Chains A and B, each alone.
Chain A
């Protein structure tokens, strides 16, 4: 098997372009479907769809982390995950706030995504041009990461607030402090998969399934938070779906770990002559 994590980038079975479409598309579809179904049917039980969309974005972010960190950035993987969420939180609050001021709260997600991706591209360009990283995919990777961070924050925040309106987001997610949970759980879903699986035998499918697993745990966490803000039934649906998804991906991840683990061969004790 080829060596991942060396210069030239990590090998991948799933094309990053395809993952980007799945990640961003999944996040946008999830958040908007949740927003439309919730407002049309006058309920909040579809908030789980936004949380699932956020998981898709986080997996895309995890793939961007493994692509960029495969070149070696010298500071450890967590720094880039925190950067992604830092850029994401600015993009998310700017997008939602601007959309509210323009009077179209539904457009907030798109504004946040565009701002976050443009800012990610600029930070990537700074890293390459000013700091001299010379990583060919730095701009692309940070664009993905920043977009993933913004989508993860909005998706999981929506699963707590049950509404895209900025005032609801501020009242139920920011002022309550639940955003800190979204921040750290979302950051873990993006940075932990590569941090835990890196090494010469890193494989894309194992890393991404780890991302799905940690993302599902984040769904459970936001489900617990939403007990205080949404109807009990909506919160319980989020928690149950999160736990079920976590179990499913945990079993899958365990299978992949066993597949990739080096074989341990019993060689017996040392022969008596060697003692």
Chain B
């Protein structure tokens, strides 16, 4: 294995991809178990499940594009769009359930006015809960998060593919890098976050530093792996 200029570019791409995943998680409205009971704002599952779900969809989309072209831009774009579609579909169908089955009004407990629509929030937050459903700002934030996650996943997948030329190996290795960054980011937000308007969002520099160190160590070995046979 010789470390030429191209290899360094690949390492940098993997690091940027890992950082995008780590920061992207902060945008996704993760509500965890309380949200599943409509007692907190966000999607009712954990960070890792959401990040893995959107990231894997992004990887599949990127992989499909990679099977027809080697140009990096359409690959990154289809990864990002794939992840956004997955996340938006989850939030929309989840929203239907909150609205029509649970019967909860969408409200954020972290801000008094929705930063995007300007609607007042506190009157709609049921007593004893920290908001319900997925308000507009959370939906937009989640879409941005999925964009970053999918872009990051594709950005990890592309250099791996270019070095080992084995789609399944690259995909599984990318999932490994993806999960490490998603879990570090979810530890940083302590499980739940509403989106970029949440006070917890200000913690992102910690995740940035953590993901930088972790992805650097992973990227250095990632480019040495061969496709086998």
Contacts and interface: CB of A to CB of B under 8 A. Distances in A.
Do A and B assemble together?
yes
Interface of A: 73-76, 78-80, 82-83, 85-90, 93-94, 97-98, 100-101, 115, 119, 122-123, 126-127, 130-133, 166-167, 169-171, 174-175, 177, 179-180, 183
B28 to A, nearest CB: 13
Given A90-B177, A167-B228, A169-B228, A79 B209 contact: no
A264 B62 CA distance: 55
29 contacts: A75-B191, A78-B48, A79-B46, A79-B186, A79-B187, A85-B176, A86-B175, A86-B180, A90-B177, A90-B221, A93-B169, A97-B224, A97-B225, A100-B228, A101-B1, A115-B221, A122-B214, A123-B180, A126-B184, A130-B210, A131-B206, A132-B206, A167-B228, A170-B227, A174-B166, A175-B169, A179-B168, A179-B172, A180-B172
Given A75-B186, A94-B221, A170 B229 contact: yes
A73 B228 contact: no
Contacts of A85: 176, 179
Contacts of A130: 206, 209-210, 213
B117 interface: no
Given A79-B186, A175-B166, A86 B32 contact: no
B206 to A, nearest CB: 6
Contacts, number: 134
Contact of B183 (A83, A119, A177, A183): A83
A175 B166 CA distance: 8
B228 A131 contact: no
A101 B221 CA distance: 13
A132 B205 CA distance: 13
A97 B227 CA distance: 8
Given A76-B32, A90-B218, A167-B228, A183 B191 contact: no
A114 B77 CA distance: 37
Contact of A83 (B180, B191, B213, B226): B180
Given A79-B186, A94-B225, A126 B172 contact: no
Interface string B197-220: 000000000110110011001100
